[in-house]
Amino acid sequence: MTGVVGAAPGGPDLRSLPRGRLEERVALAGGKPFNARQLFRWLHRRGAASLAEMTDLPLRLRERLAGESRLDTLERAGEQRSADGTIKWTWRTADGRLVESVYLPEPDRKTLCVSSQAGCGMGCTFCLTGTMGFGRNLTAGELVDQVHRANRRLVELGEGAAPRPLTNLVFMGMGEPLQNLDGLVTALDLLLDADGADFSHRRVTVSTSGLVPGIRRLGAETTVKLAVSLNATTDAQRDAIMPVNRRWPIAALLEACREFPLKPGRRITFEYVLLGGFNDADEDAERLARLLRGLPAKVNLIAYNESAGLPFRAPAPERVEALQRLLVARRVNAVVRRNRGRDISAACGQLAAAGGSLTSPAGPG
């Protein structure tokens, strides 16, 4: 195939376009509506890396598209495999940024933890990604392409059937997804499209550090599940570790959660990272139970992973158990989330690809 390799400089990135706009571009390039559907399926069902792969699309149409648009594809820059089956990938974007995704296999699901930004500007003091600072929002194409590159690699590794081994997505990697809402909403539409990756909205979760207007918009514009990285039970405590709390304190955050449209039987997940000696006392559990009273909530308790250079320490294992027992006794659905991929720095709060080398791995926000 000559002349069609996938990306011409300039023009919009085809993988980032909402379906309607992709159809318009195909029509402008002289293609028929069924060509637009073919292109959409190549991009979002089969995860094509280039226009050259799309051999059933007319060559002339591909050449026109290549002349007027780009097709950005993430390049795999690193892969680390954990003894527990977790895989962490580092991807290089077209402009040289490094971002990470983490694959978490379980007997009943295969989940990808997706990054939403290069770096993060939220400044949570317990999170390595927070120390990187904000780089930029990832495009919709870069969000969905983490899923496509992972699916393709998993097939190569014999981890599932082509074309899509992944069953679940959590937007909990590097960055604050609700700071990238335009890209995120487009990406979710593409990922949930029946002609695309066809994920069920029941199997896609977006996690936030607590951006209240973003929670409202997510509820209004999507049907995916919500997780909130709470991590504290008083404003003084949360202010100290999550600067977002000074803008939207706990009461405002929980009010937005109470108003979040939930389908029958659904709950909001509250992530609670236990920081040894900081938020792991019995009183924290008592306050947490009071805060969540009446909310359809599930609490994920996560023992902190210590990171060099950050001042927090891991909780004693008995504190994790004690908090869970106290919460359950107060009728809060609380589970201890097993830390995965610790040996490859793929656990929560540990994603930080910087300057071409992995310093360690992201946050639950």
Q: How far is the CB of 246 from ligand SF4 (least distance, A)?
A: 14
Q: How far is the CB of 302 from ligand SF4 (least distance, A)?
A: 11
**Sequence-distant (≥ 6) Cβ neighbours of residue 6 within 8 angstroms:** 49, 50, 51, 52, 66, 71, 73
Helix runs in the chain, H state only = 19-28, 33-44, 59-68, 128-132, 140-156, 181-192, 212-221, 235-241, 244-247, 250-259, 282-291, 317-329
How far is the C-alpha of 323 from the C-alpha of 164, rounded, in Å? 38
Nearest residue (CB) to ligand SF4, 63 versus 239: 239
> Which one among 23, 176, 271, 280 touches ligand SF4, defined by CB under 6 A?
176
Q: How far is the CB of 122 from ligand SF4 (least distance, A)?
A: 4
Pick out residues in 222-261 that bind ligand SF4 (CB under 6 A). 229
Q: Is residue 214 close enough to count as binding ligand SF4 by CB under 6 A?
A: no
Nearest residue (CB) to ligand SF4, 6 versus 173: 173
Instruction: Let me know: does 178 contact 244? Beta carbons within 8 Å.
Output: no
Stretch that binds ligand SF4, among 62-70, 173-181, 316-324, 331-339 (CB under 6 A): 173-181
Instruction: Let me know: does 174 contact 154? Beta carbons within 8 Å.
Output: no
Nearest residue (CB) to ligand SF4, 8 versus 252: 252
Torsion sign (Cα): 341, 205, 247, 140? positive
Tell the residue number behind the tokens 């909402």, with chain if given.
Answer: 18
Q: How far is the CB of 349 from ligand SF4 (least distance, A)?
A: 6
Q: Is residue 350 close enough to count as binding ligand SF4 by CB under 6 A?
A: no
**Sequence-distant (≥ 6) Cβ neighbours of residue 171 within 8 angstroms:** 113, 114, 116, 143, 177, 184, 204, 205, 206, 207
Stretch that binds ligand SF4, among 35-43, 62-70, 95-103, 171-179 (CB under 6 A): 171-179
Q: Report DSSP state, residue 178.
A: G
Q: Is residue 175 close enough to count as binding ligand SF4 by CB under 6 A?
A: yes
> Which one among 102, 118, 334, 362 touches ligand SF4, defined by CB under 6 A?
362
Stretch that binds ligand SF4, among 3-11, 49-57, 146-154, 357-365 (CB under 6 A): 357-365
Q: How far is the CB of 336 from ligand SF4 (least distance, A)?
A: 19
Q: Report DSSP state, residue 248.
A: S
Pick out residues in 85-144 that bind ligand SF4 (CB under 6 A). 120, 122, 124, 127, 129-130
Stretch that binds ligand SF4, among 1-9, 22-30, 174-182, 189-197 (CB under 6 A): 174-182
Q: Is 100 part of the annotated catalytic residue set? A: yes
What Rg, from alpha-carbon coordinates, does the chain have?
Answer: 21
How far is the C-alpha of 298 from the C-alpha of 306, rounded, in Å? 25
Q: Which among 129, 16, 118 is positioned nearest to 69, based on CA atoms?
A: 16
Nearest residue (CB) to ligand SF4, 105 versus 175: 175
Site mask for ligand SF4 (CB under 6 A), range 10-49, x = bound: ----------------------------------------
Nearest residue (CB) to ligand SF4, 122 versus 302: 122
- Applying CB under 6 A, the site for ligand SF4 has a residue count of 15
Stretch that binds ligand SF4, among 14-22, 169-177, 277-285, 309-317 (CB under 6 A): 169-177
Question: Which two tokens mark 186?
Answer: 């487009």
Determine which one of 100, 142, 176, 271 is catalytic: 100
The three-class DSSP label of residue 344 is helix
How far is the C-alpha of 291 from the C-alpha of 299, rounded, in Å? 12
Question: Which two tokens mark 47?
Answer: 């995860």
Binding positions for ligand SF4, rule: CB under 6 A? 120, 122, 124, 127, 129-130, 174-176, 209, 229, 362-365
Q: Return the active site residues.
A: 100, 348
